[in-house]
Chain A
């Protein structure tokens, strides 16, 4: 009887082993994803040791990006006549247009409703030229300043020359200022760009992230590169928002998403009073 029990035991154990091995063979696990787990972990550990906090879920996925170009023209000066619901002032020096509503536009006071009212305001071509091409950017907005950035088929442009800022005071739209770069075109077909994590890593290894700071947000957007033959060239960049844990200052730095190099002189500080 004991011998029979032992035989059953052997039978079941080996059957389970066979099933396991069979599943292993069936799965034929040849994965193509080149995980660089150990490298990522060690850099994360080094960053932690330097007091740098990085969001847990930062993408390792490579995307594609374009070189974009826009013709350097004055797109706003001729738009004043169509803006019948605002009084306008065009500044030739910085190619910007300021609009002040002719009649009072009261906002409801509730942030969500305010957003919808502002959206309706900017999308009306009698108020704001090219308004529909601008998208709200919360990281650049404050209590009384609502910032929108120029959006394209390829992504958002993060540049002072492609921005719409609507100012609000006492629940009332006081005025807006718009900078518009023009219609954007891709110069060449898309190419692979580095992942968000690669950009953070590049910034860290280039000692561009100070110790005792926090990486708050990493977003992909287009930034100005250079002017040539009457056009402005833009390229995909990772915008990395870093907060100093002590001073609470927030700095945004840009990493060239093609080459992983830091765009020198392109960083700026964010001074936002959040709700």
Chain B
């Protein structure tokens, strides 16, 4: 009788304990979900306009913030991969679209491990011109403390992606759900264009150095130049716009005291347009700033097909057209669009000409030296090696005399140093003695 009673009581106690346990567990799980912002991505915005703007911004951002180059190994040699029929970075973007992210973990922060990853022959690498964050790339709040990366490593596994940050030597492992990169691997293994390269550590990143003197193709494009009125109506509207010209060759269109567009007069044959909107700087993160700049880029109404995020220098975010993975500089060294967020204004500098229609390659090439030779030339000219931030091959736009709207994209070396982009020829003209002295004074004053 006593035994039965105690058994009965034990069952009661277990039931009570179980009920309390499941109750407490449900509260814990609920709190976990409520405090995890990933789950709030699904809450619908009540304001349709905001939602539409966000969707549009996401769609445009998903074309602007994508990798521009891919690399892979064959027989121990690293190659820049290119295929005329398959755009490898685009394939990666397509394959990543259906992916869900489970977790992101930092797996190493050492230089040695990072370089081991860089030289892993089983990986296909995709690189961005400049660090982007995982939340910006996915347009989702995947991780609270946003992870910055410049390189994506696609291994043999479909369950994981690895992200690399050159600056900090950090490698992150991303656990995926429904990842499948088989097409990318297949295309990369069959890529016809292979240029031998190596990674060389510069100031803040591993730069791709071209190891062979090579003949680079000169491409041609038909351009499309938009008129002043096109940009005036897009940026300022169609009413209450006043016009003022000055003798220096500029015309300024103003909507009010705070918003204006300055354009070069047609006779000057210049194409640099400047839009300014005076407004107090918002206290927003770099990511939000990058996304906000997308709105301005889209507002211009230029072709966004080849436009990619290129660089951020101080507060200026630049976007450049990429042709076959090579950036295109207008005039001397101007990007297609640059948005600058200062304390009291947003400035958008842009070129009013678009690369519109590609023309078949006609066999013209230009021979370029190796990247190492270029670096040596710069050092010989007086540039400090530790000030060299990037050495890249880029196209310079040159007019073709045979046709009004025809331009040639001539390849050449461009170098970023002292936080400035210039062509190799321009850097070679710089008085480095004075520049280095000036930089040193600035550094000492900073101390």
Contact A33 B97 (CB under 8 A): yes
Hey, which chain A residues are within 8 Å of B96, CB to CB?
A: 32
* Residue in A21, A64, A225 whose beta carbon sits within 8 Å of that of B357 in the complex: A225
* A-facing residues in B35-82 (Cβ within 8 Å): 38-39, 41-42, 44, 48, 51-52, 55, 58-59, 62-63, 82
Bound-state CA distance A64–B94 (Å) is 10
Bound-state CA distance A22–B99 (Å) is 21
Bound-state CA distance A190–B94 (Å) is 13
CB of A172, distance to nearest CB on chain B (Å) = 42
* Residue in A21, A28, A38, A189 whose beta carbon sits within 8 Å of that of B26 in the complex: A21
| Given known contacts A30-B140, A189-B82, A64 and B87 CB-to-CB distance under 8 angstroms | yes
Bound-state CA distance A235–B303 (Å) is 15
A25: Cβ under 8 A from any B Cβ: yes
Hey, which chain B residues are within 8 Å of A39, CB to CB?
A: 48, 51-52, 55
Hey, which chain B residues are within 8 Å of A229, CB to CB?
A: 220, 359-360, 362
A206: Cβ under 8 A from any B Cβ: no
| Given known contacts A28-B38, A189-B84, A190-B85, A38 and B139 CB-to-CB distance under 8 angstroms | no
Report the interface size for chain B: residues with CB under 8 A from the other chain.
Answer: 63
Bound-state CA distance A258–B48 (Å) is 27
Contact A231 B33 (CB under 8 A): no
CB closest residue in chain B, given A6 = B19
* B-facing residues in A1-28 (Cβ within 8 Å): 4, 7-8, 10-11, 14-15, 17-18, 21-22, 24-25, 28
CB closest residue in chain B, given A154 = B85
Hey, which chain A residues are within 8 Å of B58, CB to CB?
A: 34
B425: Cβ under 8 A from any A Cβ: no
Stretch at the interface among A160-168, A180-188, A267-275: A180-188
Contact B142 A189 (CB under 8 A): no
CB of A256, distance to nearest CB on chain B (Å) = 10
* Residue in A25, A185, A190, A258 whose beta carbon sits within 8 Å of that of B32 in the complex: A25
B243: Cβ under 8 A from any A Cβ: no
Contact A38 B359 (CB under 8 A): no
Bound-state CA distance A18–B321 (Å) is 51
B249: Cβ under 8 A from any A Cβ: no
B305: Cβ under 8 A from any A Cβ: yes
CB of B103, distance to nearest CB on chain A (Å) = 8
| Given known contacts A10-B19, A34-B62, A38-B48, A21 and B100 CB-to-CB distance under 8 angstroms | no
Hey, which chain B residues are within 8 Å of A25, CB to CB?
A: 29, 32-33
Hey, which chain B residues are within 8 Å of A71, CB to CB?
A: 360
* Main DSSP-derived SS at the A contact region: mixed
Stretch at the interface among B10-18, B120-128, B151-159, B281-289: B10-18
* Residue in B16, B25, B142, B358 whose beta carbon sits within 8 Å of that of A67 in the complex: B358
Contact B42 A29 (CB under 8 A): yes
Contact B12 A28 (CB under 8 A): no
Contact B29 A22 (CB under 8 A): yes
CB of A48, distance to nearest CB on chain B (Å) = 18
CB closest residue in chain A, given B29 = A21
Contact B48 A42 (CB under 8 A): yes
B101: Cβ under 8 A from any A Cβ: yes
CB of B326, distance to nearest CB on chain A (Å) = 11
A140: Cβ under 8 A from any B Cβ: no
Contact B63 A192 (CB under 8 A): yes
B contact set with A: CB distance below 8 Å: 12, 15-16, 18-19, 22-23, 25-26, 29-30, 32-33, 38-39, 41-42, 44, 48, 51-52, 55, 58-59, 62-63, 82-87, 90, 94, 96-103, 138-140, 142, 177, 219-220, 222, 303, 305-306, 323-324, 357-362, 403, 406
A contact set with B: CB distance below 8 Å: 4, 7-8, 10-11, 14-15, 17-18, 21-22, 24-25, 28-34, 36, 38-39, 42, 62, 64, 67, 69, 71, 153, 185-192, 225-226, 228-229, 231, 233, 235, 258-259
| A-B pairs with beta carbons under 8 Å apart, 14 shown | A4-B12, A21-B30, A28-B102, A29-B100, A32-B98, A38-B44, A38-B51, A39-B55, A69-B359, A186-B84, A188-B323, A188-B324, A189-B87, A229-B362
13 further interface pairs, Cβ-Cβ under 8 Å (given A18-B22, A64-B94, A228-B357): A4-B12, A7-B16, A10-B23, A14-B19, A30-B38, A32-B96, A34-B58, A36-B55, A42-B48, A186-B85, A187-B358, A188-B358, A192-B90
4 closest cross-chain pairs (CB), A and B: A21-B29, A14-B22, A36-B55, A69-B360
